[in-house]
Chain A
């Protein structure tokens, strides 16, 4: 794992690592750096589709609940309106749509990120404490087919990092 002082250095290093054929790696930064997704070759996340599904489900559930309770199980004559007076059902349907989409965005994001996670090996590196403040890290994982303890260490040093360290699982 190599440590860098600026986001630009991390992005450049990540691009280099990818050009050298490393694939199983991750970058860590104290704030979002959009360019990293491209440098790491990340695919677009499935999250938007999940949120759409959540919204549609929420809307159907809301309208379904209204229809079932007002038309089937507990029909009441309110000012002579039809039992299925759909315009009255729109505000609640809208709110449940929003609720479903928001819950899907929240739960989906944390689930896809596999968080909360109480333990992760990167925290074993003392320098990593600054990953949440002002330092940027590139970590090449041992599962990468090109990974070789010695060669990878040498490669990371060639990127002019502020420091290189080994992550012990």
Chain B
């Protein structure tokens, strides 16, 4: 692992693939660096500024939800024929973002990718917060979410009504709630040994008690570690098909219907790839400022940045292939509704958004082939924001263009979001960022115990009994 550093003369400087952790770190130093962010008494001013801005948008979200519940969903712009708009666009967008967290924590664990270690914790937190934001949309789209209990959940109510299990929307309820629950269990399990570390290092009584309770009395016993590692691996193995199923089920919401542009078999894999692509863009968006402001460049190294960019390149190309496939089958199906749908996407009233998404998701990502781009962290941050926009536009195009040109031209209409649509959307971004700011302040954003396994000290050969 440290080979390149011992023999720097053998490779051209700057061409060396950096390590997953900067050299010179020990058990003590990784523990100190990560726990200091939480145990410090002085919260950085930047944190208050960032949290303050996020909190303003969270308040906007509260106002919007209040207005929505008092007035009804008529405050939104969606109406027949576009009965689904921002509420499902934003739902799919947020759920997709969450997928990168599970990919990093579960799938990369099974593939023994060491670079996942320093980014998995905050990516998992990102998953949980993104799923929470996503759930807001369908729940509030019901208009009366307090009644959603018997619409969505199977429980023996006095009316003897049961949810309709043949509907993809009910599959969605099960997929998303299972996803949230399993992600939460996985995240909490990962946190417990770090809580024990914080308990043992905390100075204030309040912190000792809080982390003491959360650590469940963890003492690092070898018997415990053995079961812990087994459970962690099993949870990873369980989460892997789960994460693939969640976005597949989300795509069934569309694919099971008989609308042109939705009724295609490519949807599940293409949605999953798009989810991972947008999720990695969000991990990048969060990781770049996080490592900069908290000085975590030693742990989130250029190796991580490179690898994340490469994952975005691969999954982005799969998404671009999906676009090509959609266009091809619209033509090859010889179905006039399908080909009109494609023509309408490319040359209809929303064509500018279609070409913007092609420009971002198919053309712009080609920049990731270049090492110069992958090494420019500031540029990558901007590009990752563009990817988030591009994937949002993709969902907008899929949903709105298929709906606004109905089978009968007499039902054709245009869709435009209202200011409340935007208030709700930016409000969930505020909710997401507020939760994230609280998370990095109060919980370890990087898995401390897993970092210990990758410092050079951890290797058994370096020990005195070697």
B113 to chain A: closest CB distance in Å? 17
Query: Does A148 sit at the interface, judged by CB under 8 A?
Result: no
Q: Decide: B174 and A92 in contact? CB cutoff 8 A.
A: yes
Query: Does A48 sit at the interface, judged by CB under 8 A?
Result: yes
Query: Does A155 sit at the interface, judged by CB under 8 A?
Result: no
Q: In the assembled complex, which residues on chain A have CB atoms less than 8 Å from the CB atom of B241?
A: 94, 98
Q: Decide: B28 and A133 in contact? CB cutoff 8 A.
A: yes
Residue count of chain B within 8 Å CB distance of chain A: 67
List CB contacts (< 8 Å) of B54-78 with chain A.
none
Query: Does A70 sit at the interface, judged by CB under 8 A?
Result: yes
- In the assembled complex, the Cα of A76 lies from the Cα of B220 at a distance in Å of 54
Q: In the assembled complex, which residues on chain B have CB atoms less than 8 Å from the CB atom of A109?
A: 189, 227-228, 230-231
Knowing A6-B464, A32-B453, A95-B245, say if A133 contacts B164 (CB, 8 Å): no
Partner of A132, one of B162, B186, B199, B460: B199
List CB contacts (< 8 Å) of B192-250 with chain A.
193, 196-197, 199-201, 216-231, 234-235, 238-239, 241-242, 245, 249
A112 to chain B: closest CB distance in Å? 5
Q: In the assembled complex, which residues on chain B have CB atoms less than 8 Å from the CB atom of A91?
A: 168, 171, 174-175, 245, 249, 252
Q: Decide: B227 and A6 in contact? CB cutoff 8 A.
A: no
Q: In the assembled complex, which residues on chain A have CB atoms less than 8 Å from the CB atom of B168?
A: 91
Partner of A95, one of B160, B175, B234: B175
A5 to chain B: closest CB distance in Å? 8
Knowing A92-B165, A96-B178, A101-B238, say if A12 contacts B217 (CB, 8 Å): no
Q: Decide: A29 and B220 in contact? CB cutoff 8 A.
A: yes
Query: Does B182 sit at the interface, judged by CB under 8 A?
Result: yes
Query: Does B441 sit at the interface, judged by CB under 8 A?
Result: no
Partner of A26, one of B28, B171, B221: B221
Knowing A36-B222, A37-B226, A69-B165, say if A133 contacts B465 (CB, 8 Å): no
The digit string for B1-42, where 1 denotes a CB below 8 A from any CB of A, is 000000000000000000000000011100100000000000
Knowing A98-B182, A133-B197, say if A47 contacts B452 (CB, 8 Å): no
Residue of B nearest to A102 (CB): B182
- In the assembled complex, the Cα of A47 lies from the Cα of B160 at a distance in Å of 38
Residue of A nearest to B457 (CB): A6
Q: Decide: B165 and A70 in contact? CB cutoff 8 A.
A: yes
Q: Decide: B225 and A29 in contact? CB cutoff 8 A.
A: yes
Knowing A6-B457, A92-B171, A120-B217, say if A47 contacts B230 (CB, 8 Å): yes
Knowing A30-B449, A92-B171, A129-B200, say if A113 contacts B462 (CB, 8 Å): no
Q: Decide: B217 and A116 in contact? CB cutoff 8 A.
A: yes
Q: In the assembled complex, which residues on chain A have CB atoms less than 8 Å from the CB atom of B222?
A: 26-29, 33, 36-37, 40, 42
- In the assembled complex, the Cα of A95 lies from the Cα of B172 at a distance in Å of 10
Q: In the assembled complex, which residues on chain A have CB atoms less than 8 Å from the CB atom of B27?
A: 30, 133-134
Q: In the assembled complex, which residues on chain B have CB atoms less than 8 Å from the CB atom of A129?
A: 200
- In the assembled complex, the Cα of A47 lies from the Cα of B233 at a distance in Å of 11
B74 to chain A: closest CB distance in Å? 29
Knowing A47-B230, A91-B245, say if A73 contacts B462 (CB, 8 Å): no
Q: Decide: A33 and B465 in contact? CB cutoff 8 A.
A: no
Nearest first, the 6 closest Cβ-Cβ pairs linking A and B are A8-B463, A134-B27, A109-B231, A116-B216, A69-B162, A12-B465
Q: List 7 A-B contacts (CB under 8 A).
A: A8-B461, A30-B452, A36-B225, A70-B164, A78-B166, A120-B217, A123-B219
Q: A6-B462, A42-B226, A113-B221 are in contact. List 13 more A-B contacts (CB 8 A).
A: A6-B463, A8-B461, A8-B463, A31-B450, A32-B225, A32-B228, A70-B165, A74-B160, A89-B165, A117-B217, A118-B217, A131-B200, A131-B219
